[in-house]
Every structure is written in C-alpha cells, then in structure tokens.
Amino acid sequence: MVTAQASAASPLRKVLSVVLFNLLVYIVIGMPNAVLTIFVHTTLGYSTTLAGLTFALQYAATFATRSSAGRLVDKIGPKPVVIGGLLACVCSGLLIGWAGALHNLPSASLGILLISRLFLGWAESWTATGVIIWNIHRAGAENTALAISWNGICSYGGIALGAPIGATLALLPPPYGGLVAVGALSAFLPVFGLALIGFYQGAQPHQSTENPIPFRKALHLVFWHGSALAAGSIGFAAISSFLALYYAAHHWAGAATALAVFGIVFVCIRFFFAGQIKRRGGVFVAIVSLLVEAVGLTIIGLFPTHYNALLGAALTGAGFSLLFPALGVLAVNKAGPYNRGAALSAYSIFLDLAIAGSGVTLGPIIEFSGYSAMFLTSAACCLAGAAISYRLKRSPHQS
C-alpha cells in the first residue's frame, strides 16, 4: 500500500503521491477550455451568453455537490469520495465525445454537452475535496497549507496542460477529431486513476463524540473568507470562459497559448511563493494577490492587443494563484479537526458560485458593452475582494 510505504516520507512526498488524482481530473477540466465556448457559439450556432452558461454549468454542479463531498469525507473518509469523483469524470468524458459526434444535431449535442458539464462539476468537487482532506490526514494538520497549495498546483497545472492538448485534438480531422477526441482522452485519464487508486490505503475519518456542524454554520464560519475568494474568482472565470472568444473576435491566433500561460504562471507562483502565506499571513497575501489580478484584467480591458492579452492573462494567473490557499488555511482551521471537510466545502462553494454566476452575468456584458467592459468589471470585482480582505485584517477575530 502507498500509505504504508510513505509513512516515513516527508510531508511533501506524502502529498504528491495523492494529488496525482486531482491532476488527472483537472487535465480533463482544462481540455475543453480552449474549444468549448467556440464549439457552442460557432459550430452549434448559439449565443455567447449560452456558450458562457454551458461553460459555467460545471461550476454550478460543483457547487451543488460540495456539501455532499464534505459530509462524506468527514463521515466515511476521503478515498471513497475520490473514487466517486473519478467515476463521474469518466462519465463526463464519454458524454463530451458523444456531444461532439452529434454536432450536426445542435439541440441534441448541446443537451448532452450540458449533462457532461454536470458530471464534470461533480467530479471536480468530490475529487478536490477528497484529495485535500486525504493529504491533511497523511501529512498532518500543521501542513494544511502545503496540502492546499499542491492541490492547486495540480489543479491549475492540469488546466494549463489540458488547454493546449484540447486545442490540438480539436484540430484533428473528423470523424475522430474535435470533441470526440477530447472526450476519448477525458474518459481514459480517470480510468487510469481508478486503476492506480486500488494500491492506496485510505485514511479513516477523525472520531468525535461531537455532532458534525451543520453546513449552514460552516458557511457562516467562512463567509468573509469565501466572499473575498468569490470576488477574485470572477477574474478567473473571465479568462477561462471568454478569453478564447475574445481572441476569436479579434481574429488572433494563440488563445490556447494564453490559457496555458495563465496556468503556467499560476503554478510557478504557487510553487515558489506559497511559503509567503505562513511568513506574511493569509490576509496580506490575499490583498496583494487580488490587486495583481485586478491589474492583469485592467490591461486586457484597456489595451486590446495580442501581447497585452498574453500579459494580462499572466498577471491574472499570478494574482489568482495564492488566493485560495491564503484564505483557505484560515477558513479550514476555524472549523477544527472534525469538520475540515465541511469547512473546506463551504469555503469552496464561494468559488463555485462566483464562476457559475459569471457565466450568466459576464456574457450579457459582452453582448451589450463589449469585451473591454467585461474585463474591467472583473477587475472591479477583484478590487472589491481586496477591500473584503482588508476587513479581515482589521477584524482578526473573523480570520
């Protein structure tokens, strides 16, 4: 068993062997990023609002399944939850491929694609929550920041890997190119994870005589941390949902490269600067992160050139990188050792709500006011998040 072999290993080695499962799921999440909205808008002929809504539906499903993920992790342990997430990911991949094969039937293709996004959201919430709590068990509560940080490195590293892979597969000739090829690889990767996970020993949940806290109380505990996270997540949604369409509107090549740059910078910042959270405090890091993200989005909004879009994507990735762990460590620790799953799920829901809501709100801004207004609105949201984080700094008892 992997756990038995790693019992004397460093905390980092313990964490790395489990975050592989999260990496596989996020590669699957990243593959449609450069092609999904274009497929819905250009191939199927639907509006940018519906294209954005299709993208965001994944995060609505992630939101809907967060509470069950946290509750089950605290009750039965993280390994079964991760297995459930991988199975949902397989279903999503098969459905994406089916939707691509039915591109000549727009309504049927869109309907199947929407269902696939629901399965992918389920896969994300269960896998990410299970992996983080599993690693906290394996590495110890004192290494919570390490567990969350490396989960994020694999998450957005997976997106960075997946976006160019998906764009390349989309260029393959029919009948096996496009979303058909994306779906096939999206189903294979989690099957590989399921083959590996049988060799891993699970972690037992903490035993407590206390009743688990209600999910509503968990939401209350992390409300301000989650609100700041939500504000910064809107910038991530603007890049993930609409950067490819923004490039297409300007007839630029390289949208997949820009998405990859976002992910690569995200991973590099998380890798080299995650220690600043412990050194300078989560609130300080969150404020700086949100300001950097706002600068990146403002550059894209005010200076519409290919190179500025690339620079803005890089800065947005740099700013968003440390936001989740900076406030997440504080949020998870507020709930105590017996309710970490509930607290993490409640905190993560704010990210899900922000991204899901962005699909509904940012698309109409584009239709009525253009892409510049959309990116500038996202930048303003990041500034609001910095103000919320400053409130946490001024009120230490809330953090």
Q: What is the pLDDT of residues 9-44, one digit of tens each?
A: 688 788 888 999 999 999 999 898 778 888 888 888
Model pLDDT, residue 271: 82
Model pLDDT, residue 386: 95
Model pLDDT, residue 293: 97
Across 340-364, average pLDDT: 81
- Say what the alpha-carbon torsion angle 388, 238, 121, 200 is, to the nearest 10 degrees: -80
Q: What percent of the chain has pLDDT over 70?
A: 92
pLDDT digits (tens, 9 = 90+) for 124-154: 999 998 998 888 888 877 777 778 888 878 8
**Residue 304 DSSP label:** -
CB 207: neighbour CB atoms within 10 A? 6
Exposure on the CB side of residue 19, measured as CA atoms within 13 A? 23
pLDDT digits (tens, 9 = 90+) for 246-258: 998 999 988 888 8
pLDDT digits (tens, 9 = 90+) for 35-89: 888 888 888 888 878 888 888 888 788 888 888 887 888 788 899 999 999 999 9
Higher pLDDT, 160 or 253: 253
Q: What are 68's two structure tokens?
A: 């069950």
Model pLDDT, residue 9: 61
Q: pLDDT at residue 396 above 70?
A: no
pLDDT digits (tens, 9 = 90+) for 175-216: 777 889 999 999 999 999 999 998 887 776 665 555 667 777
- pTM for this one? 0.73
Model pLDDT, residue 83: 95
Across 353-358, average pLDDT: 81
Please state, rounded to an integer, the average pLDDT across all residues of the chain.
85
Cα end-to-end span (Å), the chain: 38
Between CA 381 and CA 298 the distance in angstroms is: 11
Between CA 9 and CA 204 the distance in angstroms is: 19
**Residue 103 DSSP label:** T
Model pLDDT, residue 195: 94
Evaluate whether 337 touches 206 at the Cβ level (below 8 Å). Answer: yes
Evaluate whether 120 touches 94 at the Cβ level (below 8 Å). Answer: no
- Residue 108 pLDDT class (50, 70, 90 cuts): very high
Evaluate whether 160 touches 31 at the Cβ level (below 8 Å). Answer: no
Q: What is the DSSP string of 153-202?
A: HHHHHHHHHHHHHHHHHHTSPTTTSHHHHHHHHHHHHHHHHHHHHTTSPP
